Amino acid sequence: MTLVSLRDVAVSARRRLVPAHYDFFAGGAGEERTLRDNRAAFDRWRLRPRVLRAAGVPDPRVELFGTELSGPVLIAPTAFHRLAHPDGEVATARAARAAGTVMTVSMAATRPLEQIAATGARLWFQLYPQPDRDFTASLVKRAERACTALVVSVDSPVLGRRARDLRNGFLDLPPGLACENLRDPVTGKVRDIVMDPSLGWDDIDRLRAGTGLPVLLKGVLHPADAREAVARGVDGIIVSNHGGRQLDNAVAAIDALPAVVGAVDGRIPVLLDGGVRRGTDVLTALALGASAVLVGRPVIWGLAHDGEAGVRQVLSLLHEELTGAMALCGAATVADLTRDLLAA
């Protein structure tokens, strides 16, 4: 089968994955309205290209926190990569390095952060702050040795109710797999991730004060929260509804983006995570003010399809589609992707 789009990669992955594992990756919360709307919201936008701009070959490179990347597509944090391929997050990181982009390592990775970092990939680390502050501090110290930014998930005071997992009885990892970043540094036992409904802005202040890494908040949808984040010195925002996996009927990520961008008013980078499946989706997000996007499920589909090579293919497809769309819209660089290129 010749793979010419991310849809093809997803079809291939579904054939290879254990059904319960496919549902874990593909599913969302509740009736999956937000999951579906993340895609449908992109489909409501249309492009209004410019012509005769002598733009030349497009250059999609971006810079984030002092690091130049090959393009504005980063890898989002997703759990349990070894369910998709035996090499797990190590394969994903190798693909990220080859593509010249960033991989955000999930706190629930099935390979230790240190093994993932040994690939030489540029890494960010996703963190759910834990009620045990000493354990949280130990995770941050590990991240400081291996990563260049912290991505704090702030949309998970409780775990979303995911019907597919409940129907499948998928409540834990198979024998031989574990969330390796959750091993207690003293006992060596793997801890459970604790979703903390008491997490507040003061916890973010303490986290920022205790690390020299840039801190991004992932899961911001409301402009008031974006303004608060800027006021408290947060370094970046990721507009996200957790891929539709937390609060069903939450606003689609791309629909929430313009108000958050307006609230931030250029003071810190705003990234988007959720529903990106095509190069034109990337272009749309950037034209609405995003600095970059993150992709999650497509990376898992690529990993299931063909390990590292499959992830590289996913990133290559998005890169090619984006640069082609830029050329057709008359854009030489991502700075040329402005709101006037869009028609709702």
**β partners of residue 59:** 333
Amino acid 32 reads E
Q: Where are the beta strands (DSSP E) in the chain?
A: 46-47, 62-64, 67-69, 73-75, 102-105, 122-127, 150-153, 215-220, 236-240, 270-273, 292-295, 342-343
Residue 219, annotated as binding a ligand = no
Label residue 145 exposed, middle or buried (CB < 10 Å: 0-12, 13-18, 19+): exposed
Residue 273, annotated as binding a ligand = yes
Q: Which DSSP state fits 103?
A: E
Residue 157: count of CB within 10 angstroms of its CB: 11
Residue 274, annotated as binding a ligand = yes
Residue 276, annotated as binding a ligand = yes
Residue 313, annotated as binding a ligand = no
Label residue 14 exposed, middle or buried (CB < 10 Å: 0-12, 13-18, 19+): middle
CA distance 218 to 197: 16
Tokens of 146: 């291996």
Tokens of 248: 């069903």
Residue 218, annotated as binding a ligand = yes
Residue 56, annotated as binding a ligand = no
Residue 27, annotated as binding a ligand = no
Residue 77, annotated as binding a ligand = yes
For 240, the 3-state DSSP assignment is strand
Residue 106, annotated as binding a ligand = yes
Residue 240, annotated as binding a ligand = yes
Residue 176, annotated as binding a ligand = no
Q: How far is CA 31 from CA 130, 276, 282, in A?
A: 29, 20, 26
Q: Summarize the chain as % helix, strand, coil (round to 5).
A: 45, 15, 40
Residue 290, annotated as binding a ligand = no
Active site residue 242: yes
φ/ψ of residue 183, rounded to 5? -70, 130
Residue 245, annotated as binding a ligand = yes
Of 21, 81, 85, 242, which is the active-site residue? 242
Amino acid 186 reads V
Residue 78, annotated as binding a ligand = yes
Residue 36, annotated as binding a ligand = no
Feature table: binding site for glyoxylate: 128, 162, 242, 245
Feature table: binding site for FMN: 77-79, 106, 126, 218, 240, 273-277, 296-297
Catalytically active residues, by annotation: 242
Feature table: binding site: 77-79, 106, 126, 128, 162, 218, 240, 242, 245, 273-277, 296-297
